[in-house]
Amino acid sequence: MTERLYLQDPYLKSFRARVLEVRDLNGRPAAVLDRTAFYPEGGGQPGDRGT
């Protein structure tokens, strides 16, 4: 399971992670990481996006 860093520090701007899997998501590449600082989408609130 991906470690959710945003629960510990909602203002985290930089982190290191390992790519566990690369997959196709609606015709676009997506990476599954072992940890993330990106909030998921929910309750009408858009999720975070990053590069």
* Cα 28–chain centre separation: 15
pLDDT digits (tens, 9 = 90+) for 7-29: 999 899 899 999 999 999 999 99
List strand residue ranges (DSSP E) for the chain, in order.
3-4, 19-25, 28-33, 35-36
Q: Across all residues in the chain, what is the average pLDDT?
A: 89
The number of distinct structural domains making up the chain is 1
For residue 17, count other CB atoms closer than 10 A to its CB. Answer: 15
pTM: 0.70
**What is the reported pLDDT for 40?**
80
Residue 16's pLDDT is 96
What's the whole-number mean pLDDT along residues 24-40?
91
Q: Would residue 45 count as lying in a domain? A: no
Q: State which residues form the domain around 8.
A: 3-36
pLDDT at 20: 96
Region 30-34: what's the mean pLDDT? 94
Looking up tokens 């929910």, which residue turns up?
A: 42
Chain-centre distance for alpha carbon 49? 8
**Is residue 17 domain-resident?**
yes
